[in-house]
Structure 1
Amino acid sequence: MFDLHRLRLLRELKHRGTLAAVAAALSYSPSSVSQQLSQLEAEVGVPLLEPVGRRVRLTEQAEILVAHTEAVLERLERAEADIATSLTDLTGTLRIASFQTAALALVPGALTLLRDAYPRLRVHVTQNEPEKSLPALLARDFDLVIAEEYPGNPNPRPAEVEQEDLLEDPLRLARPGPTAAGSPQSGLPQPGPTDDPLAALRSLADHPWVMEPEGTAARHWAMTLCRSAGFEPDVRFESTDLLLHLRLVEQGHAAALLPDLVWGGRAPTVPLRLLPRSHASRRLFTAVRRGRSRHPALQACRQALHRASLS
């Protein structure tokens, strides 16, 4: 029978990419990880790693082993969830990763609900962009990830991950200038009957823009939207910090595309315009590893996030 600990090291190598990354994540030395994997190769009787420059990659047989290891670990996580369900109190640590606007607008309220209902549950929150946190979920660095999906840019859906919708977050064009009068119901400006979302975008074709960095889903969506309006935006400012985006709009330095969550329930401070219907909102969701969704701590966290999103 193969050693499960060594199989997990092989799985870690697949997800983290290098022996050094595996060693750092698990507090081992690289030589110790290499020695354990060499012993696993001896157990299996075939090569599991092959050199590629200064790195290594998994052989076909190693990939087979990792697939079986994933199934074993999923079953063990189901066992852990069943044990937790049989208990009368929630304890232990729940590790959450969230991107900035959800961390500001949703997570504090959810934490309050969890603290009041389960005072012995320790919740650890890390602010992280989905591009990093979702792979880290598979690597078991987090238990739950709050992530986003922009219109026309669907995320990959690995079989090892279970997603659950959280909310639809409207996206709007934020223009420099005095704040327009808001709706008494939503606090957000309402369009007039002749408003043309593409025309509003084109009116800012020669204006500086602030967007998220290249390579992010938000940047790809924003560039696609501007090009659909017939212009290439002059992106002078790049940041994943949407509060910085807002400040640059407030000070008249840039136009931006902002989600409603950035206001955190407050009245908008800049004029807002609706976007074309096909680009009007982003999808927020929670993600957990397959086999963990029945864990009572994760169920409680998802329920708390849903309640926070409605408040």
Structure 2
Amino acid sequence: MMNVERLRTLCMVAELGSLAAAAAALHITPSGVSQQLSRLEKELGITVLERQGRGVRLTDAGTLLAHRGHDILSRLERAESEVASLHGDVVGALRLGAFVSASRTVLPRAVATLRDRYTQLDITLTEGEAEVMIPRVLRRQVDLAVVDNWSTLPMEFPRDVKTDFLHQDVADLALPADHPLAERAVVRLDELSGITWAAWNEGTEFHDWLAQSLRAHGVEPRIDFRVADFATHLEFVRRGLAAALIPRLAGLATPDDVRIVTTEPVLSREVLALSRSDNDRPTVRAGLAALGDAFAEIAPGSTTSPGA
């Protein structure tokens, strides 16, 4: 009989391309991965892995088994979800993931609600952006992830991922109070040429979204200050060093000497909950309900908004 965890290990090596990467994803050592695959080979009487230079590669048999293994693991996950649903007990582990603003402003509320409702539920939270969370959901490392999807840079989600809408958010323009545009009620994006920006690091979704949004209106952004924190962005604005785009979900008070202005067009994003389509356990449904309740409690105007 084939061992499921060894099959899972093989699938992870096939997906990530190395023993070290698979070990990191599975939270075991590379030697532990090697041992799992050696035992799998003994069980099946075939070779699934062979050396290639300094690395390894799957044999034809290993590649075929990994391909079939993804389907086997998905069917097993679905069967376990269906059995768990027969009883409907919300017990065991729920692994949550969320992007920075949500993890700071909304997830503590959702986790507190879950702890109050389900005393036998073990909850963990990992912070990360969509580019990190989507692979973790697919690899079954995270059960439920909260991600954002900007209208000007929409994502395509893998077919094995289910999305549930949670919230609609808006990003406003933060300007130094003495900037010529700061007294305007609305500023068009095509008016923002020649401005220095504070934004996230290059290669992150938020950085790419800001650049794409401005370039779509003929503005090539100069991003001199790359920091993964909206409060720091506002501090650069307060000092007269930059402008920034600040999501209302960040829940930040507007500092003195900063003006928050609406943009034209409005820059919006959907906040979504992601889970594997084959994972419909009671724990996931309970987590989704708690997230929905937590986002529904966000009152209009309770976060950073024009005039705040």
1:224 to 203, 207, 212: 212
Q: 1:303 to 1:190 in 2, by over 3 A?
A: farther
Taking the aligned partners of 1:275 and 1:66, their CA distance within structure 2 comes to 49
Q: Which residue is 1:167 aligned to?
A: 167
User: Secondary structure, in 3 states, of the residue corresponding to 1:90?
Assistant: coil
Task: Tell me if 1:197 matches 2:211.
Answer: no
Taking the aligned partners of 1:122 and 1:39, their CA distance within structure 2 comes to 31
Taking the aligned partners of 1:128 and 1:160, their CA distance within structure 2 comes to 20
Amino acid at match of 2:238: E
Q: 1:274 to 1:49 in 2, by over 3 A?
A: farther
Task: Tell me if 1:282 matches 2:273.
Answer: no
Amino acid at match of 1:112: A
Q: Which residue is 2:221 aligned to?
A: 233
Q: 1:88 to 1:259 in 2, by over 3 A?
A: same
Q: Which residue is 1:98 aligned to?
A: 98
CA shift, 1:48, in A, is 3.9
CA shift, 1:225, in A, is 2.3
2:289 to 274, 297, 303: 303
Q: Which residue is 2:243 aligned to?
A: 255
CA shift, 1:196, in A, is 4.6
Task: Tell me if 1:153 matches 2:158.
Answer: no
CA shift, 1:308, in A, is 1.3
What do residues 115-142 of structure 1 show as CA deviations (whole Å, max 9, x unaligned)? 2222221211121222222212222221
Q: 1:119 to 1:232 in 2, by over 3 A?
A: same
Q: 1:307 to 1:29 in 2, by over 3 A?
A: closer
Q: Which residue is 2:117 aligned to?
A: 117
Taking the aligned partners of 2:160 and 2:166, their CA distance within structure 1 comes to 19
What do residues 51-88 of structure 1 show as CA deviations (whole Å, max 9, x unaligned)? 55433344565443223222222222223323332336
Conservation of the 8 A alpha-carbon contact between 2:175 and 2:243: yes
What stretches of structure 2 of length at least 5 have no aligned partner? 298-308
How well do the aligned residues superpose, as a CA RMSD in angstroms? 3.0
Conservation of the 8 A alpha-carbon contact between 1:176 and 1:250: yes
What stretches of structure 1 of length at least 5 have no aligned partner? 180-188
Amino acid at match of 1:208: T
Between stretches 63-72 and 104-113, larger displacement belongs to 63-72
What TM-score, normalized by structure 1, do the two folds share? Answer: 0.81
Amino acid at match of 2:267: A
Conservation of the 8 A alpha-carbon contact between 1:169 and 1:259: yes
User: Secondary structure, in 3 states, of the residue corresponding to 2:8?
Assistant: helix
Give the aligned length: 294
1:136-147 equivalence runs, <5 A: 136-147=136-147
Between stretches 161-170 and 36-45, larger displacement belongs to 36-45
User: Secondary structure, in 3 states, of the residue corresponding to 1:271?
Assistant: strand
Taking only the aligned residue pairs, the percentage that are identical comes to 35
Taking the aligned partners of 1:199 and 1:21, their CA distance within structure 2 comes to 43
Amino acid at match of 2:272: F
1:209-220 equivalence runs, <5 A: 209-220=197-208
Structure that is richer in strand per residue? 2
Conservation of the 8 A alpha-carbon contact between 1:50 and 1:58: yes
Conservation of the 8 A alpha-carbon contact between 1:200 and 1:273: no
Q: 1:29 to 1:257 in 2, by over 3 A?
A: closer
1:69-84 equivalence runs, <5 A: 69-84=69-84
Amino acid at match of 2:202: E
CA shift, 1:12, in A, is 1.6
Taking the aligned partners of 2:51 and 2:270, their CA distance within structure 1 comes to 41
Taking the aligned partners of 1:24 and 1:257, their CA distance within structure 2 comes to 34
Q: Which residue is 2:5 aligned to?
A: 5
What do residues 143-164 of structure 1 show as CA deviations (whole Å, max 9, x unaligned)? 1111112233232422222121
